[in-house]
Amino acid sequence: MLELEHISFEVAGERGEKEILKDVSFVLPDNKFVVITGPNGGGKSTLAKVIAGIETPNSGRILWDGEDITDLDITQRARLGISYAFQQPVRFKGVTVFDLIRLASGKEISVSGACEYLSEVGLCAKDYINREVDASLSGGEIKRIEIATIMARKTRVSVFDEPEAGIDLWSFQNLIQVFEKMHSQIQGSILIISHQERILNIADEILLIADGELVKHGSKDEVLPTLLGTANAADFACSKIERC
Ligand SMILES: Nc1ncnc2c1ncn2[C@@H]1O[C@H](COP(=O)(O)OP(=O)(O)OP(=O)(O)O)[C@@H](O)[C@H]1O
């Protein structure tokens, strides 16, 4: 179980300190599918980076099964079982897609085993397995490859920052199925940052972050109707939710 206690994060701005996260506390229970949503610039990615160990909070604690992991970096947290998929995935020149999936799985897997993960994310495996993870891959392709590596990792917490970004509409339904399958098959929690109603729809719980604050947290049935049915929801959602 992952717990965030009174997390605040500040950066130095032109007019003094800028508070990006303000006293955010919540519990991510085991085996839950949780979506963080909210307006642009609200602090969602920063929160995900704090969870992954890319950013260190100025105050507050992060607990992993009750143990304080606030000072652990991304590598140490990955070893504990926290995976993070970037909004803009990193490219690795000289490393093939197969290398990346094999490394992620943490064991010797066959090419056909690695190909299965690629097929899951809608890529024709034979076309990609030997390609380098470099700038020749499109934004959508690299995003799907990164999702495949997180699936191969099978960690206890998988954090995805806007996995739908750069994914075409045709593949989007497939992506939803990938997440539903991950949720049913892996013993772990999935934390997704998303503005997409169809991703919000498959969540167990939704967190609404706005202006650095956790404004709402509850089950999908509690939170989603209020997001979709109020003027506030329209304020934040229409820029990205597909039906708008
Ligand atoms: N290192 C930094 N220095 C200065 N400002 C930052 C830094 N990191 C984040 N910010 C600012 O903090 C705010 C929150 O950014 P963040 O990327 O967490 O928002 P977000 O909710 O993920 O937004 P989006 O939906 O647009 O992806 C933004 O105003 C951003 O410009």
Average pLDDT of the segment spanning 106-120: 87
**Is 242 a domain residue?**
no
CATH number at residue 175: 3.40.50.300
Q: How many domains does the chain have?
A: 1
List the structure tokens of 198: 């169809």
Q: CA–CA separation, 239 vs 103, rounded Å?
A: 37
| Contact indicator for 156, 125 with CB cutoff of 8 Å | no
Please give the pLDDT value at position 170.
67
If you measure from the C-alpha of residue 54 to the centroid of ligand 1, how many angstroms do you get, rounded to a whole number? Answer: 14
Q: Does some domain include residue 236?
A: no
208 domain-assigned = yes
Residue 121 located in a structural domain: yes
The span from the CA of 227 to the CA of 216, in Å, is: 10
Quick check: is 243 in a domain? no
Which H or E run includes 102? Answer: helix 97-105
Average pLDDT over residues 56-67: 96
Q: Strands, DSSP E only, in 79-212?
A: 82-85, 92-96, 132-133, 157-161, 189-193, 205-210
Is 177 inside a domain boundary?
Answer: yes
pLDDT per residue as tens digits for the range 158-208: 999 998 887 777 678 888 888 888 888 878 899 999 999 999 999 999 999
Residue nearest to atom 28 of ligand 1 (CA): 41
* Token pair in block for residue 21: 């996260």
Asked if residue 46 has its Cβ within 6 Å of ligand 1, the reply is yes
Q: Which domain holds residue 11?
A: 1-228
- CB of 41 shorter than 6 A to ligand 1: yes
Average pLDDT, the chain: 87
Predicted ipTM beyond 0.90? yes
User: Residue 233 falls within a domain, yes or no?
Assistant: no
Q: Does residue 229 sit in helix, strand or coil?
A: helix
